[in-house]
Amino acid sequence: MSTIEEALRKAEQQKQIGQKIIASDDSASEPHDIQQDSHDSIEGFVANDQESFNRPVEKFDWNFLKSKGYICPESAHSKLAEEYRSIKRPLVVNAIGARKKDIQRSNLILITSSVPGEGKTFTSINLALSISAEFDKKVLLIDADVSKPAVSKVLKIKQTPGLIEYLEGEVDNLSDIILHTEIDGLRIIPAGKRHKYSTELLASNKMVSLAKELSERYADRIVIFDTPPLLATTQAEVLASMVGQVVLVIAADSTSQSLVMESVKKLENCADVVLTLLNKTKRSLDTSYYGYGKY
C-alpha cells in the first residue's frame, strides 16, 4: 500500500473515530448555547464602542482571495464552503458549544502541520472566514507564524505592530494590536516585526498569560493561531501546550506517514483535542477533499 493510500485509509478511519466523538452532539448547534454566548455584551477586545467605532477597518480583496481558492461571501454555497462547514463544526462545538466544559482553553485552536506548505495558512484563514460568517460568532485570527508571517500577506493587510510587539512589551494594550475587519465578527492580530528571539517570546510567561486571558476573558470568541510547521521549529509545539484544540493539517499526497506520526507524538501531551485535516488530495475534481479525525 502506498503512503498516500495508507494516509487516506488512515484518514477514513480517523473520520469515523472523529465522527463518533463529535457528531452526535447536535445540541451544541442549538440556539441555547449560542444565545448564552451572544448575551455577553462586552464589545470584543476593545475598551468601548466609541473606540471601536473610530478604528480603521481592514477591507479584503475578495477577487484575489477567490483566485487563490479562499472562501468568499459570493461563494457561500461552493463545495469548499460546504467542506469548511463540516470542518469547523466539531471545532466550534468543542470551543463554545456543549463540549466546552470538558476541554481546557477550548476556544483556542492552533493550526499546524508537520512540514512547510501543507496548507496551515489556507486552513486558518478559511476557518476564520467560515466561522465569522455566522452571525453570532466572533473570531480572532492570530498570525503566530512570526518568522514567516503569511496571514497579512494573503489578506493584504499593511504591516502594523502585532504579536511580537505585544510580547516584547513595546505595545501595552492588547486592543492596540487587534485589527478590525470588514467582517464584523472577524478580528486579526498580525505577527508584527521580525525578532531575533521570537521563539523565546512565544514561550514566555507573557504568551502564557495572553493565552489564559484569551481563554478566560474572551471565552466566547474562537481564537485561531496560524503557526509554523511542527517538525521545523519548536514554536508550534510550545504554543500547542497553551491551547485547547490543535488541527494537524496533512498534505495527503506528499507527507509521509512517519512524519505525521512524529508530529502526533509531539502533540501527545499538548492540547486536549488533536484533530487531523487531510488537505490537497485529489478525490474531488474541483477542490480538495478533507479527512477529519482525532488521534
Ligand X SMILES: Nc1ncnc2c1ncn2[C@@H]1O[C@H](COP(=O)(O)OP(=O)(O)OP(=O)(O)O)[C@@H](O)[C@H]1O
Question: Contact positions toward Mg ion, by CB under 5 A?
Answer: 120-121, 150
Size of the site for ligand X (CB under 6 A): 17
- Closest to ligand X by CB, 215 vs 281, is 281
73 belongs to the binding site for ligand X (CB under 6 A): no
What is the CB neighbour count within 10 angstroms for residue 222?
A: 27
Three-state DSSP at 182 gives coil
291 belongs to the binding site for ligand X (CB under 6 A): no
Choices 3-11, 117-125, 132-140, 208-216 (CB under 6 A): range interacting with ligand X: 117-125
Joined together, the cell numbers standing for residue 262 give 512524529
Q: How far is the CB of 92 from Mg ion (least distance, A)?
A: 22
Joined together, the cell numbers standing for residue 156 give 493584504
The backbone region for 192, taken as left when phi is positive above 0, alpha when psi lies in -120 to 50, beta otherwise, is: left
**List of residues 6+ apart from 183 with CB closer than 8 A:** 60, 129, 132, 133
The Cα angle at residue 126 between residues 158 and 20, in degrees rounded to 5: 150
- Closest to Mg ion by CB, 89 vs 120, is 120
- Closest to ligand X by CB, 25 vs 82, is 82
Choices 31-39, 88-96, 116-124, 266-274 (CB under 6 A): range interacting with ligand X: 116-124
- Selection from ligand X, Mg ion, none that 69 binds (CB < 5 to 8 A by kind) is ligand X
117 belongs to the binding site for ligand X (CB under 6 A): yes
φ, ψ of residue 107 in degrees (nearest 5): -80, -5
Q: What's the Cα-to-Cα distance from 39 to each of 75, 102, 220, 234, rounded to whole Å?
A: 30, 22, 10, 39
193 belongs to the binding site for ligand X (CB under 6 A): no
88 belongs to the binding site for ligand X (CB under 6 A): no
Residue with cell 458549544: 97
Candidate list 102, 116, 194, 217; residue touching ligand X; CB under 6 A: 116
Choices 110-118, 135-143, 174-182, 264-272 (CB under 6 A): range interacting with ligand X: 110-118
Q: What's the Cα-to-Cα distance from 218 to each of 44, 58, 105, 115, 239, rounded to whole Å?
A: 8, 22, 10, 31, 18
Q: How far is the CB of 275 from ligand X (least distance, A)?
A: 16
Cα gap 272→283, rounded to integer Å: 30
Candidate list 162, 229, 291, 293; residue touching ligand X; CB under 6 A: 229
Sign of the torsion formed by the C-alpha atoms of 168, 173, 175 and 177: negative
- Closest to Mg ion by CB, 100 vs 195, is 195
- Closest to ligand X by CB, 59 vs 282, is 282
- Closest to ligand X by CB, 44 vs 119, is 119
Sites of contact with ligand X (CB under 6 A): 68-69, 113, 116-122, 145, 148, 150, 229, 279-280, 288
